[in-house]
Structure 1
Amino acid sequence: MLEQIDLDLRLTKRAYTEQISELQTRLFHMEQALIEARRPVLILFEGWAGTAKARTIGVMVRRLDPRGIRVHSITPPRTYELQYPWLYRFWLKLPSYGQMAIFDRSWYREMLAERMRSADIQLWRQRCEDAVTFERQLADDGAIIIKFWLHISRKEQRKRFKALLKNKLTAHQVTDEDRQQQRNYSEYAAALEDLIARTGTQRAPWHVIPATNKYHARVAVISTVLAALEEQVDFQADTVDPKYASTGLDVAGAAFRRRFLDQMAAFTPAAPSPAAIKEPVHRPVRAEVAHILRRVDLSMRLDANEYTQQRRQLQAQLYLLGLALYHQRRPAVLVFEGWDAAGKGGAIQRLTAEIDPRSYTVHTIAAPAGEDKLRHYLYRFWRRLPPRGQFAIFDRSWYGRVLVERIEGFAQPAEWQRAYSEINEFERQLVDFGTIICKFWLHFSPDEQLRRFQQRKNVPFKAWKLTDEDWRNREKWPQYEEAVDEMLLRCSTPAAPWTVVEAEHKHFARIKVLRTVVQRLEAELGKVEL
């Protein structure tokens, strides 16, 4: 495919000067439309070393309001970034709704570098699948993704390197990585062909731009960006107030002020046009596997003496397993979901009682706010992942998407229906990185919940835990039960299984949680001896 690109396309400086100003102005007004539409944009610049990607980006953003853009220069991962799954650092760089993130190199730089270093084709294919999954999840959330490869010939690259090396002020720009790319141009081009074939999709296509002539490349890039944005954002240039048409600054400033004034208000980001996507098909719970929770035996009990003995032993084992987790540099994620007052907090307290407090973080998840509210719903969980050797404990989690957001209408049907596959993909990427995952649903009867509610109501130091929302949720027990059944069915995988905990009796529930975590860690890390 690369061999078919016409690298001799040219544009004179005069023609470039005549076109670039108009393109920059159109892009400025489009920036305002993106703010109003709350559509995030990701523009990726990849290409051969020596194609002046940074200068092209500079021309593109010259007239944009800097409050609406962020340019990320991607280098090889730093030491601390290697403590997390490979896409972690890119999730953290996502633009908020209505903003534009421009990547000078991206996740594809890391993928190509790995391909050239390693002959592990299975890892390469998995990385390509991860990238496609990542981009699809963002596109489903309304993001517009534009990917560029700036293309020059091997001869042209060599010529540019020589020119840079002759000048002491620019010689440093030619790195060892660049020289290696020049030496292995053919192998690199073959890997690139494979990359484009595997990761170019309808909603995140690759645009190969001939970059021999800088004027042609810059005009082609900005024209492509405008075409992609205008296709997906409803914006009419003639709606801009004429008195601001020359600069647009006041128009954009007003848009930014509106955005920051109401960013804390609840909203659902605009979705792509129906024609651009295929809506997911909702699969109802099959009759033969429905009513999972109704089959749980809630009569399980444990007497106080046995509880104390088992708790001490399991906590001692957990302490040693925490040390093994640290030494083996494996992260662990523990997820706690369950009915209100089912005992999640008590179980977490017993779980963490004897392990090193430096080795875990407990995240109490409520409604998203601030930066979390302005991005893809998985963003706030990616940024709370544990580094290697540590625990992250989630009191509520990403499963809120298919539970409370589904029942209360905070997520549209298409959003929570596709969340099952998004969650499975998210957890699969964690497991591929080496993360140990334990997920618990604490289950009890409505009568026991009412008894605990009444107890909380009458005990001063527990009364704060009881809210009006807890009472409202009780009224929707059947709807939540159906949602939980479907969640357990569709999101319990061999690598990240759900454990339903019989929580009618708190002692039994706490011991089951402790024992399950110990058994799961021993299966991954090896048995420990007291």
Structure 2
Amino acid sequence: MFDNKENEYALFTTKEKKKLVKEKQKELGVLQRTIFEKNIPTVVILEGWSASGKGRILGKIISQLEPRHYQVHSSKVKSIDELRRPLFWRFFIKLPLYGKMVLFDRGWYNDVFEQLIDGASQEQWADKINRLEAQLVDDGTIVMKFFLHISKKEQAKRLKELDEDQDMSWRIVEKDWNNHKQYDQRKKLAEDFFSKTNTSYAPWHIVFNEDKYDGVLEVLDTMIKTFQDVLENGLPITTRSNLLVNHLNTPYLQDVSLRPYLTEEQYKQELKKEQDRLTKIQNLLYRNKIPVVLAFEGWDAAGKGGAIRRLSWALDPRGFDVIPVASPTKEELMHHYLWRFYKEIPKVGHIAIFDRTWYGRVMVEKLEDLTDKKRCEQAYNEINEFEDMLHSWGAVVLKFWIQIDKEEQYTRFMTRVNTPEKNYKITDEDWRNREKWDVYEEAVNTMIQRTSTHEAPWIIIEGNDKMYARIKVLRTIREKLEEEIKNRM
């Protein structure tokens, strides 16, 4: 993969190469505007050896681009906030709006590569990356990956020149020299890993960049050809199987008994006991840096808000956030649908409580024809991948469906209608959704069966009795967190 291939511009004069660069920059600028008009997002990942010329290549790429339609992100150094999130988080939240372009000066490969040097599994990380990139392409994103290659001898020469330049020496740190000493080992590792992540939908382009113009021309050529191919033939078809997950035997909604109830006295006793224990558990989560993601779904008027309130009363507000999820904003609609949820992933030791979730993709969006059927079908696997990523990172993921029957929902609707201070809770949409109870029930059953996994289980809460439902939510969370803390200490 890293063999020096014959360059088609090798026999051109410097003057001819400079002229070609300008022509191709203009051509790329024209194509960028067309891509923008077609609402196609683009992700460009520029990796390479230290001193391989990434900055210069980036400058040549953007020379004739419309600056309002692209962003460049340098990802070499992680912030403290980024260190406390999953590896892909800092890249996913910077994905471009539809039609725009993001260029990563070092992308997720740089982060993963450091883990591979420390002995992490190539196969596991290659699978995670291939799935991430497939998700982007399935969503309509062009993904281009470049690695700027120079020889070990050339790298030593450039590092020395930069080190001796008073104005440029700040760019070279001890790690660059240490990596140079490991050049042969890193090259072999990169060849192996790139072969595992070289897919038809997100191929690698190894660019030999020792000549001042050859590398630039190759990158510009590749970008131009990629844009032209997408405009003519569409995005490539991704090739990956569904993630292998350990599905749980979760009951269907119609098979759940809704008879359990608590007396008011039982409720008060259990509420205080569970909240007191959760208060202590939250401190242990923080000390052990365990992130928690709690997802709440359920029928309209099922009691999600009440359950979340009782949970929040037990917690230090500095260590959790409640994320209410409504219809996506204009900005959110211009991103991958998981983008707005990636943004809310908690820091290690913190808790994120989602009042409605990413499952809207396979419920309301699917049933109301708000999203293409193919994309809705793909979402089951994408959601399993998303939750597997959270679990692999170390998060505890629990998902609650609060179940009530149709008669109980009607009673609660009418209470809201007849109680002035609760009128705001009932909308025309609630009544419309109620008319589609049977099709929603079928969709929820499918959702639960296809996404209830050992890593991210669905827990069905019997919700006809609000007091029972609230206690079961608190008890389930408390028991699971106690188990996780015990296993990790």
TM-score, normalised on structure 1?
0.87
Give the SS at the match of 2:448: helix
Per the alignment, residue 518 of structure 1 pairs with 478
Q: Distance in 2 between matches of 1:62 and 1:274?
A: 25
**1:242-287, CA deviations, whole angstroms, 9 ceiling, x for partnerless residues?**
xxxxxxxxxxxxxxxxxxxxxxxxxxxxxx8376346999xxxxxx
Q: Cα gap change, 1:8/1:370 in structure 2, threshold over 3 Å: closer, same or farther? A: closer
How far is the alpha carbon of 1:126 from its aligned partner?
2.7
Per the alignment, residue 422 of structure 2 pairs with 462
Q: Distance in 2 between matches of 1:161 and 1:275?
A: 39
Per the alignment, residue 248 of structure 1 pairs with none
Say whether residues 1:215 and 2:213 are aligned partners.
yes
Q: Distance in 1 between matches of 2:68 and 2:141?
A: 18
Per the alignment, residue 41 of structure 2 pairs with 40
Q: Cα gap change, 1:9/1:223 in structure 2, threshold over 3 Å: closer, same or farther? A: closer
* Mapping 1:230-245, distance limit 5 Å: 230-234=228-232
Give the SS at the match of 1:294: helix
**1:146-182, CA deviations, whole angstroms, 9 ceiling, x for partnerless residues?**
0001111111212222333333222333322221222
Per the alignment, residue 246 of structure 2 pairs with none
How far is the alpha carbon of 1:355 from its aligned partner?
1.6
**1:188-222, CA deviations, whole angstroms, 9 ceiling, x for partnerless residues?**
10111012111111110000111111211111100
Q: Cα gap change, 1:449/1:421 in structure 2, threshold over 3 Å: closer, same or farther? A: same
- Residue type of the partner of 1:133? R
How far is the alpha carbon of 1:439 from its aligned partner?
0.7
Say whether residues 1:229 and 2:227 are aligned partners.
yes
Q: Distance in 1 between matches of 2:237 and 2:386?
A: 24
Per the alignment, residue 133 of structure 1 pairs with 131
Given candidates 388, 405, 408, the residue that maps to 1:428 is 388
Q: Distance in 1 between matches of 2:386 and 2:460?
A: 21
Contact 1:70 1:101 in 2 (8 A): yes
Per the alignment, residue 53 of structure 2 pairs with 52
Given candidates 436, 448, 455, the residue that maps to 1:488 is 448
**1:35-89, CA deviations, whole angstroms, 9 ceiling, x for partnerless residues?**
1111110111111112211111111111111000101111232222111111110
Q: Distance in 2 between matches of 1:279 and 1:474?
A: 37
Contact 2:143 2:202 in 1 (8 A): yes
Q: Distance in 1 between matches of 2:53 and 2:474?
A: 56
Please say which of residues 8-17 and 415-424 is displaced more in the overlay: 8-17
- Residue type of the partner of 2:168? T
- Residue type of the partner of 1:388? V
- Residue type of the partner of 1:145? V
* Mapping 1:259-298, distance limit 5 Å: 273=234, 276-277=237-238, 292-298=252-258
Contact 2:7 2:214 in 1 (8 A): no
* Mapping 1:96-175, distance limit 5 Å: 96-116=97-117, 118-119=118-119, 121-122=120-121, 124-175=122-173
Q: Cα gap change, 1:69/1:149 in structure 2, threshold over 3 Å: closer, same or farther? A: same
**1:365-394, CA deviations, whole angstroms, 9 ceiling, x for partnerless residues?**
011114322110111101001111111100
How far is the alpha carbon of 1:435 from its aligned partner?
0.7
Q: Cα gap change, 1:165/1:301 in structure 2, threshold over 3 Å: closer, same or farther? A: closer
Count matched residues.
481
**1:121-154, CA deviations, whole angstroms, 9 ceiling, x for partnerless residues?**
33x4333222211111111100000000111111
Please say which of residues 44-53 and 65-74 is displaced more in the overlay: 44-53
Q: Distance in 2 between matches of 1:103 and 1:3?
A: 25
Q: Cα gap change, 1:65/1:392 in structure 2, threshold over 3 Å: closer, same or farther? A: same
Q: Distance in 1 between matches of 2:19 and 2:338?
A: 44
RMSD: 2.0
Say whether residues 1:319 and 2:317 are aligned partners.
no
Contact 2:9 2:17 in 1 (8 A): no
Give the SS at the match of 2:123: helix
Given candidates 179, 184, 187, the residue that maps to 1:186 is 184
Please say which of residues 448-457 and 128-137 is displaced more in the overlay: 128-137
Q: Which runs of 5+ in 2 are unaligned?
A: 243-248
Q: Distance in 2 between matches of 1:396 and 1:73?
A: 34
Q: Cα gap change, 1:90/1:408 in structure 2, threshold over 3 Å: closer, same or farther? A: same
Give the SS at the match of 1:367: coil
Q: Cα gap change, 1:89/1:290 in structure 2, threshold over 3 Å: closer, same or farther? A: closer
How far is the alpha carbon of 1:325 from its aligned partner?
0.8
Per the alignment, residue 267 of structure 2 pairs with 307
- Residue type of the partner of 1:464? Y
Q: Distance in 2 between matches of 1:524 and 1:207?
A: 43
- Residue type of the partner of 2:288? Q
- Residue type of the partner of 2:464? E
Given candidates 366, 387, 391, the residue that maps to 2:326 is 366
Q: Cα gap change, 1:7/1:187 in structure 2, threshold over 3 Å: closer, same or farther? A: farther
Q: Cα gap change, 1:180/1:7 in structure 2, threshold over 3 Å: closer, same or farther? A: farther
Q: Distance in 2 between matches of 1:291 and 1:51?
A: 56
How far is the alpha carbon of 1:26 from its aligned partner?
1.3
Say whether residues 1:336 and 2:258 are aligned partners.
no
Q: Distance in 2 between matches of 1:517 and 1:276?
A: 40
Q: Distance in 1 between matches of 2:281 and 2:45?
A: 42
Per the alignment, residue 92 of structure 1 pairs with 93
Q: Cα gap change, 1:210/1:7 in structure 2, threshold over 3 Å: closer, same or farther? A: farther
Q: Cα gap change, 1:300/1:405 in structure 2, threshold over 3 Å: closer, same or farther? A: same
Say whether residues 1:29 and 2:30 are aligned partners.
yes
Q: Distance in 1 between matches of 2:209 and 2:372?
A: 43
**1:288-308, CA deviations, whole angstroms, 9 ceiling, x for partnerless residues?**
x99811101012211111111
Q: Distance in 2 between matches of 1:26 and 1:442?
A: 55
How far is the alpha carbon of 1:5 from its aligned partner?
3.5
Please say which of residues 141-150 and 192-201 is displaced more in the overlay: 192-201
How far is the alpha carbon of 1:407 from its aligned partner?
0.7
TM-score, normalised on structure 2?
0.94
Q: Distance in 2 between matches of 1:275 and 1:393?
A: 37
How far is the alpha carbon of 1:9 from its aligned partner?
6.3
Q: Which runs of 5+ in 1 are unaligned?
A: 235-271, 282-288
Give the SS at the match of 1:439: strand
Q: Identity over the aligned pairs, expressed in percent? A: 38
- Residue type of the partner of 2:109? Y
Contact 2:134 2:238 in 1 (8 A): no
Give the SS at the match of 2:421: coil
Q: Cα gap change, 1:58/1:217 in structure 2, threshold over 3 Å: closer, same or farther? A: same
Q: Distance in 2 between matches of 1:345 and 1:474?
A: 19
Per the alignment, residue 176 of structure 1 pairs with 174
- Residue type of the partner of 2:223? V
Q: Distance in 2 between matches of 1:408 and 1:495?
A: 29
Q: Distance in 2 between matches of 1:177 and 1:156?
A: 17
